Amino acid sequence: MCLFLCLLLLPGLSFFSVQAAAPSPQDRQEYIVVKGDTLYSIARQYHLKTDQLADFNDLNPKAILSIGQQLWIPQDPSRQVVITKGDTLWQIARDHGVRLSELVSYNKISEPGKLKIGQVINIPVSGDEAVAVPAVAGGGGQRVGAASRSAANTGFIWPLKGIITSAFGQRKNRYHHGLDIAAKSGTTIGAAKAGKVIHAGWRNNVYGRCVIIDHGNNQKTLYAHASKVLVKNGAQVRAGQAIAEVGATGNTTGAHLHFELHIDDKVVDPQKYLR
């Protein structure tokens, strides 16, 4: 999908320039460019796609890097291990079902036998993960609810009925900053919560046609890859109101909605709030 963070995202994942909207230190890792580095080579080191790494740093995928330039590598804080007495990389690799060589490479560890207590080890995802989604009547537990389903305390409702094809978080070769929900092209997308439209139209070559809504209280949602946008910039919308139609614009291989939720200037997992 997009990055993508789906990443993410390009020139920028931030909200709105998708740098993952100023991710916290736990969501990212610093990288300093050295001679010979390219976005492609760095992305490969960290199991990312070039456009997703570029997006996370608000760069063009073809940008030429400068020696000493600071980049941020997306990390999933839910897949980290803090070293305690007696821990070994072999044991961590075994417990998490990844190869030792992959763990060493992913964390750029020069001396695998010399871990320090308190050291943080990031765990790469070594394969597709099952995605737990809420079941709906008549479904097999693989579909998300329609826009009428709401979370108990957040007020966010599902923007679309469909199958989740990619969840939020780090994947084998990318960091996904949203939730991908597959649906037929032209299917109506509803606003997840009442708010003001702050972007309506073409976003970039990653997001394609996109709608962004500001819900107040430092909460924003993003709806990407639309075939058609049904609202205008500055419009006030109500929860569930049609704002766009599912499409495949931008960086995507098929029709779906890439949905992002940003709270307090940080991209978060929509499923934790939509449930």
Instruction: Say what the pLDDT of residue 237 is.
Output: 94
- Tell me which residue range forms the domain holding 44: 13-74
Verdict on whether the full-model pTM lies above 0.85: no
| Same domain? 49 vs 108 | no
pLDDT at 263 over 50: yes
- List Cβ neighbours of 63 (8 Å cut-off, separation of 6 or more): 39, 54
In a domain, 6, yes or no: no
| Same domain? 85 vs 201 | no
pLDDT at 154 over 70: no
Higher confidence at residue 260 or residue 27?
A: 260
Place of tokens 């997001």: 207
| Same domain? 67 vs 102 | no
In a domain, 100, yes or no: yes
- Rounded Cα distance between 264 and 7, Å, is 18
In 3D space, the residue among 123, 116, 121, 122 whose CA is nearest the CA of residue 84 turns out to be 116
In a domain, 217, yes or no: yes
Q: What is the pLDDT of residues 191-221, one digit of tens each?
A: 999 999 999 998 888 888 999 999 998 999 9
Q: What is the pLDDT of residues 95-135, one digit of tens each?
A: 766 778 778 877 888 888 888 888 888 876 533 332 333 32
| Same domain? 219 vs 107 | no
CATH of the domain at 113: 3.10.350.10
Given a contact cutoff of 8 angstroms between Cβ atoms, the answer to whether 169 and 76 are in contact is: yes
List 201's β-bridge partners, or say none.
210
| Same domain? 148 vs 234 | yes
In a domain, 128, yes or no: no
| Same domain? 158 vs 255 | yes
| Same domain? 147 vs 264 | yes
- Rounded Cα distance between 56 and 51, Å, is 9
Provide the domain count of the chain.
3
| Same domain? 217 vs 117 | no
Higher confidence at residue 136 or residue 44?
A: 44
| Same domain? 105 vs 191 | no
| Same domain? 183 vs 104 | no
Give the CA count within 13 Å in the CB-facing half-sphere of 127: 5
- Rounded Cα distance between 167 and 271, Å, is 8
